[in-house]
Amino acid sequence: WLYPELPWGAPPSWQMPQMRGGHFMQVWEMMSFLACLYVSATVPWLVAFSDDAFPGVHSCIYLSDPMTTELLTIATMDILVDLLFTIDIFINFHLAVWEISTNGSPHWQLIDDLPSIRSKYFWGGLWTDVLGQI
């Protein structure tokens, strides 16, 4: 499984040798952020202006004939973004999480056993991610 970065303010001594994947997750989160920006820009534009920008094109760009370079670029980017979000769902099932434990005084606790990670994601963010993917 993958480990996230240390929580803000955590001492470097919390870093353990087996905690791998922090840099990958930074890059992955940046790619997800850029994909969200792409979606937030293209979806409203396609809904509002696709008839004006591409006259005679079917309302679903995947069914358009002829498939122009612009439409092919948009369709390819949409497929890649959907693939990225789908992979993100699978990554989250294997991503350890930091949470604040309230046993005794509040403190950060790393949840890194796979059944707990999957249960937390299944009952937490999975349904938001799946609805966003649709």
Tokens in use for 42?
Answer: 């293209």
In 3D, which of 77, 119, 86, 112 has the Cα closest to residue 98?
112
- Is the N-terminal amide bond of 66 cis, ω within 30° of 0? yes
- The predicted pLDDT at position 71 comes to 75
- For tokens 């604040």, the residue is 100
pLDDT at 67 over 80: no
Residues recorded for the chain: 134
Mutual orientation of helices 69-92 and 22-53 as an angle, nearest 10°?
A: 150
**Which band of pLDDT confidence, cut at 50, 70 and 90, is reported for residue 61?**
low
- Tell me what the pLDDT averaged over the chain comes to: 79
pLDDT tens digits, 25-53: 888 889 999 999 999 988 887 777 766 65
Q: Which residue has the higher pLDDT, 34 or 105?
A: 34
Q: What is the pTM of this model?
A: 0.74
Map tokens 């046993």 to a residue.
103
The contacts of residue 13 (CB under 8 Å, 6+ apart) are: none
